[in-house]
Structure formats: structure tokens, C-alpha cells
Amino acid sequence: MPKPLIGLTSSRILNSDGLPTFAVNEPYARSVSMAGGIPILIPLNIGNPDLDMLLGKLDGIIFTGGYDIDPTKYGGQPNRKVTHIDQERDETEIYLVQAMVERNKPFLGICRGLQVINVAMGGSLYEDLPEQFPGDTLHDNHHKPRDFLAHAVKVESGSRLAQILSQEEVKVNSLHHQGIRKLGSHLRPTAYSPDGLVEAFELPGSKYGLAVQWHPEELQAHEAQRLLFQAFVHACQAIS
């Protein structure tokens, strides 16, 4: 059976020479490869017709982490903590989410990826959790190593996520200052942080429509996090 082609959404950054670059953090690609897939970077400079052509070749998409989504995309308000907005990335990813849902192709959202899927499905975000969702859980741990296990999440019994992880509580890293305010249409919440913030959701009835707020690609030393990628690649392989 051929290996599935997995698209990875990209960020626009400046490299060490100050040149604009499309980039994906290496752990995403490594996690896909280790799970048996072939990672393919999706650039931001192609229009919707070419994205449609690319979607015909891809077996699944991972919506990767990154900077903040423009609050106007979800009816939010400007906030001084919202930074590095990239309109082209927002629009590309929202289009891709809606196309993947329409085509019923597998997709996985990670951190920003969870947030952009929620926005694409009509949901909204807290622009800044410390200001708008105060609680006992520290969600933004960028001052810690990326594999630092910041807190536990409670996984809903009977959910696809619980079946994949084979457990109903798992410790995760936490590298975000935004989160889900209102869940998008047709999405089912499947995990919560100790303060009640939605940490994962799934799209019932999909071949594999799932998103997590943490970064499993940085936690590949933990079997449960590897299982997320293995289950996703397996779902993609089933349609390749």
C-alpha cells in the first residue's frame, strides 16, 4: 500500500538572512514520517483553484501551529496581545478547512490549527486567555521547554480521541495564549483542561476530523502522542 501524502500548512517567517520564507517546524514532518506518511509543505502563495488541484493529490492535511488569527475572522475585537497576523495564511487555511470538510478528507489540527478549524466552522476565540479566561491553569508556557508537561487534560469517554489514546486523562504541553470561546458548528468537544477550556474536538461522522490544543509533535517520546499521528496517517492511508 502506498504511503499517504500529508499536507502541512506553513507559516511565513523571515529567515536568518532576512528573506521571506514559508516554513514548518521540523517535528511536524518528522512525526508524519515516523507514522508512515510523506509530509508535503503547503505554501501560502497559491490561489483557490490551485489549492483545489493540490487537494486532489493529498490524502490528508495537518493544520499546524503558529501565530494569531485575525479577530475579524470570528467577530472578535482588536487586542494588543494579538500579534503577527497573516491574512493570507488565515484565508488559505479557512478555505482548506471548509474544503476538507466538504470532501470528507482526514484532517488534524494542532494548537493554532485547532483554533483556525474552529473559526472556519463558525466558532470564536478568546483573544487573550489571561485577560478573558482567568483561572488556575497556565496555558502559555513558552518560557519552558516545548516538551514540558504543563497540565493534564480530561478526555471524554467514548470519543475518538479516547479510543486513540486508550486513556481518559493525559498530560500535555501548553504553548498558547488564545483558546476556544464558542465552539464551531457540528464540532464535539472531547477534552478539557483543569480550568474547563476546550482542549480538543472532533467532527462526528468524518473519516478523521480531530484537533488538539497542545503540541503532540513535540511529545513523541510519549506513546499516547505518537498514537495521534499513527491513527491520522492510517486514516489517510485508507483513502490513498
Question: Rg (Cα) of the chain, in Å, rounded?
Answer: 17
Q: Angle between the 87-103 and 48-55 helix axes, to the nearest 10 degrees? A: 40
Q: Which of 151, 217, 218, 236 is catalytic?
A: 217
Q: Please spell the DSSP secondary structure of 155-220, one letter per residue.
A: EPTTSHHHHHHTSSEEEE--B-S-EEEEPPTT-EEEEE-TTS-EEEEE-TTSSSEEEESS-GGG-T
Cα separation of 109 and 200, whole Å? 9
| Residue 111 among the catalytic residues | yes
Q: Which of 111, 151, 176, 177 is catalytic?
A: 111
Q: Which of 177, 215, 218, 236 is catalytic?
A: 215
Beta bridge partners of 169: 154
| Residue 199 among the catalytic residues | no
| Residue 143 among the catalytic residues | no
Which of the residues are catalytic? 111, 215, 217
